[in-house]
Amino acid sequence: MALSLVTAGESHGRALVAIVSGLPAGLVLDKDQIDADLHRRQQGYGRSPRQQIEQDEVEVLAGLRHGRTLGTPLALVVHNRDHKNWEWGMSPWPPEGEAGGKGTKAVTLPRPGHADLAGTLKYGFADVRDVLERASARHTAVIVAAGAVAKALIAKIAITVEGRVLTEDIEQQVDEARADRDTVGGIVEVRARGVPPGLGTYATKDERLDARLASSLMGTQAVKGVEIGEGFGLASKRGSEAHDEILRDERGLYRDTNRAGGIEGGVSNGEEIIVRAAMKPLPTLMKPLASVDLQTGEPAQALVERSDTAAVEALAVVAEACVAWELARAAKDKFGGDALDDLVAAHRAYLERIDWSPR
């Protein structure tokens, strides 16, 4: 069974939920490890005061017994502590009693750069909040929880994944932007080591590993560009300078350059996987941009709300989770296994067959 992930949840609703299916039975999960990634995602310079309200931790509702996966759907929950301030405003059922707390007044001032306007038009909503609650990057908390599970799985076949920020002087940029009541974006990179050749396939577009990585990263809030290996840089190189020559020593086949970022023809080639994502500046500005009041049709200024000045350090953690998830999915496709031991044994047998070993 293929690994799959479904999520639900709004930014100020009760909780974010992820259901992970297709995990093999017998994988040991460590709550502290999942919580550590949730904590990492909340760090970083330039986050909003919302992060002082939230202290994300995972709750498991199903699929795990005594710390081991059962091979059944795993249900993960990350609660929104801020929900206590939004109980009326985000009530799933028609709210009872006096309106109180946050979210009681309709938002009618869409923010340029957010999903606000396009989402409101698409679904016919009268309140932009009906869009922004789900479009919010708060959603990434539960992606990170699922990514931590994926990391535990791929660790069993010696794959490790690490995300980091490439943008320089991010703290200074944040300070300057905050002083100007503005926001900044940035670039993150994820590297995965120990990935054997053969994850993903050229057979169909949507099973290409690079397509899956790009889709997962591009599907993350505020990401506007993704590149694999030297990506856009390859376009201005000659073929003789762009490709990674094939070499062999006593440990098997290898390359001594990696411009392809570890993927050729949509298939991992045994080199380090290198993926970068570019994040746009966050769209909620304290010094708002021009907008239109959707109720009156009159020119107005966009919604001003508590917001992050930057979340690029958080994106590094989220991107790491996305890459881990896609590698786990591709590994499950390749090695199968209802029981973890079967997956590990299939991986071992495969490495015995091919002329490659991890470096």
Q: Using CA atoms, how far apart are residues 233 and 255, in angstroms rounded to an integer?
A: 19
Q: Is 133 or 230 the residue whose CB approaches ligand EPS more closely? A: 133
11 vs 216, beta carbon nearer ligand EPS: 11
Work out which of 308, 313, 320, 326 binds ligand EPS, going by CB under 6 A.
Answer: 308
Q: Which residue is nearest to ligand EPS (CB)?
A: 50
Q: Is 224 in the site for ligand EPS (CB under 6 A)?
A: no
Could you tell me how many residues of this chain bind ligand EPS (CB under 6 A)? 15
Single out the residue of 35, 54, 57, 338 in contact with ligand EPS (rule: CB under 6 A): 54
Q: Which of 141, 144, 170, 209 binds ligand EPS (CB under 6 A)?
A: 141
Q: How many angstroms separate the CA atoms of 348 and 286, rounded?
A: 54
Q: Which is nearer to ligand EPS, 216 or 284 (CB)?
A: 284
120 interacts with ligand EPS by CB under 6 A: no
Q: CB 81 → ligand EPS: shortest distance, Å?
A: 10
Using CB under 6 A as the binding rule, whether residue 138 contacts ligand EPS is answered as: yes
Cβ-based nearer residue to ligand EPS, 54 or 342: 54
> Is position 272 an interface residue for ligand EPS (rule: CB under 6 A)?
no
Q: Per-residue x/- mask for ligand EPS, residues 142 to 181, rule CB under 6 A?
A: ----------------------------------------
CB of 304 to ligand EPS, least distance (A): 11
Residues β-bridged to residue 62: 75
Q: Is 48 in the site for ligand EPS (CB under 6 A)?
A: yes
Select the residue interacting with ligand EPS from 127, 182, 207, 305 (CB under 6 A): 305
Binding site for ligand EPS (CB under 6 A): 11, 48, 50, 54, 82, 136-138, 141, 221, 284, 305-308
